């Protein structure tokens, strides 16, 4: 069970009642997962990092199955993974953060089977470290960006690089406490094609891209909101000279959170990309950036890739060089990995009369579930999908549930596509 969908705490205890139609390939089975990430190696091998029972485990998919190693017992059990990168030599590096903001940890595989642990601590007893980010520079060395938050609301943005001996070297990006923020600031590095390292920083109520200049750094505002503020980790990507960044924006006075996507190429711009959702991942495809997220209706949640609904919660998402999509899904049993050779194209919709459509399908069946207020579900029945993708479900129960869930499983990939309908009861 994934704690908090990483970027923002959500009621994921409901996963204890989850009963999916078609599990994917099992990566992990066991006690609840605090957090997880998915990345691809240079040869396309999927790599998963996850935290369970206060232990970091890294699993690599090989021909014989998932090869899992647990290199470290962590300083705490309530831990988030703020980054997972794979070097050209196939060596993973993982960035972890205590959710209390008291430490950052970099776990690096320095040679096959040998790991190194390095910690970063706040300056003072009242200081906190916000959600951080991890990348590899052009030499394949880890680069970390994080913001230190003081109780006075002043912040210090820092860039940490790894030298040839593996030691950490810290560079201060911002000074004099700017920007001040009542919430923790998030940060993530971006390595440009020419090797320049920039930093994206989010805080209440905006996001800034910091670029190095002689003698210091210069900032470019990417986004600002009068009604919301960024929360949780920042995801970044770069294509040519264009930088992309995504994060979850909280709107405490007006409604549920949303995922914001910003970019800076010839000009800077940012806007809400997915409403009522929490960010899970940002990837780049030949057609542009693609977002994965998670959405809840009451205590019932589903994963999203763009506007495509998935049964389960997205813990990780990656795109292969050839265009295939890989997903890491959190379930009550643990973590499942699924793959599609193409972009996710099926889309399930569910109307209030329980009719609906599976766009991209012409056969199979839709499973309809009733979901209670606590997120537990019970199967109503299976209803055939017509040649035009339509289906007509029904429920004989007199009392409506808190929500209905419709699921169609792609027989070629085992990916369970889903729609969620809250009844308002």
What pLDDT shows up at residue 5?
45
Q: At 13, is the secondary structure helix, strand, or coil?
A: helix
Rounded CA-CA distance 140/199 in Å is: 18
Count of residues for the chain? 425
Rounded CA-CA distance 3/24 in Å is: 20
On whether the pTM is more than 0.85, the answer is yes
Burial 345-371 (b: 16+ CB within 10 A, else e): ebbbbbeeebebbbeebeeebbbbbbb
- The answer to whether the CB of 235 falls within 8 A of the CB of 246 is yes
Interval 163-192 mean pLDDT:
97
Reading the block at residue 108, the tokens are 């690096």
- The answer to whether the CB of 296 falls within 8 A of the CB of 420 is no
What pLDDT shows up at residue 338?
97
Reading the block at residue 328, the tokens are 């890491």
What pLDDT shows up at residue 333?
84
pLDDT tens digits for range 112-167 = 789 999 999 999 999 999 999 999 999 999 999 999 999 999 999 999 999 999 99
What pLDDT shows up at residue 387?
98
Q: At 14, is the secondary structure helix, strand, or coil?
A: helix
Q: How much is the mean pLDDT over the chain?
A: 93
**Is it the case that residue 2 has pLDDT exceeding 70?**
no
Terminal alpha carbon distance of the chain: 26
Rounded CA-CA distance 407/179 in Å is: 45
- Which residue blocks in 282-423 are alpha helix, DSSP H? none
β-sheet with 347-350: strand ranges across: 347-350, 355-359, 390-392
What pLDDT shows up at residue 140?
96
What pLDDT shows up at residue 332?
77
**Is it the case that residue 15 has pLDDT exceeding 50?**
no
């Amino acid at each position: 069970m994934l704690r908090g969908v990483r970027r923002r705490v959500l009621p994921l205890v409901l996963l204890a009642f989850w009963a999916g139609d078609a599990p994917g390939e099992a990566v992990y089975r066991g006690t609840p997962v605090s957090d997880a990430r998915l990345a691809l190696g240079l040869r396309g091998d999927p790599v998963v990092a996850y935290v369970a029972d206060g232990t970091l485990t890294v699993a690599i998919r090989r021909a014989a199955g998932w090869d899992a190693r647990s290199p470290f017992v962590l300083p705490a059990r309530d831990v988030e993974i703020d980054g997972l990168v794979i070097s050209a030599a196939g060596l993973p590096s993982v960035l972890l953060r205590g959710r209390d903001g008291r430490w950052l940890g970099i776990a690096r595989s320095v040679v096959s089977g040998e790991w190194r642990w390095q910690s970063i601590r706040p300056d003072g007893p009242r200081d906190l470290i916000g959600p951080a980010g991890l990348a590899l520079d052009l030499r394949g060395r880890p680069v970390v960006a994080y913001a230190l938050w003081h109780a006075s609301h002043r912040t210090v943005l820092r860039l940490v690089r790894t030298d040839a001996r593996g030691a950490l070297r810290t560079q201060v990006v911002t000074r004099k406490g700017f920007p001040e923020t009542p919430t923790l600031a998030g940060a993530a590095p971006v390595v440009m094609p020419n090797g320049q390292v920039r930093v994206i920083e989010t805080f209440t109520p905006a996001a800034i891209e910091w670029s190095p200049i002689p003698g210091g750094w210069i900032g470019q505002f990417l986004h600002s909101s009068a009604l919301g503020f960024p929360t949780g980790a920042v995801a970044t990507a770069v294509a040519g000279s264009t930088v992309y960044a995504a994060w979850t924006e909280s709107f405490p006075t007006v409604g549920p959170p949303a995922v914001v996507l910003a970019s800076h190429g010839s000009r800077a711009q940012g806007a809400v990309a997915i409403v009522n959702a929490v960010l899970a991942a940002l990837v780049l495809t030949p057609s542009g950036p693609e977002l994965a997220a998670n959405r809840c209706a009451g205590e019932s949640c589903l994963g999203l890739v763009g506007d495509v609904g998935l049964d389960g919660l997205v813990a990780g998402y990656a795109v292969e060089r050839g265009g295939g999509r890989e997903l890491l899904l959190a379930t009550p049993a643990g973590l499942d990995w699924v793959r599609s050779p193409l972009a996710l194209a099926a889309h399930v919709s569910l109307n209030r009369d329980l009719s609906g459509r599976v766009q991209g399908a012409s056969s199979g069946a839709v499973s309809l579930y009733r979901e209670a207020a606590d997120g537990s579900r019970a199967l109503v029945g299976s209803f055939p999908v017509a040649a035009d993708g339509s289906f007509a479900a029904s429920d004989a129960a007199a009392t409506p549930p808190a929500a209905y869930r419709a699921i169609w499983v792609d027989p070629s990939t085992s990916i369970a596509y889903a729609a969620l309908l809250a009844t308002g009861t």
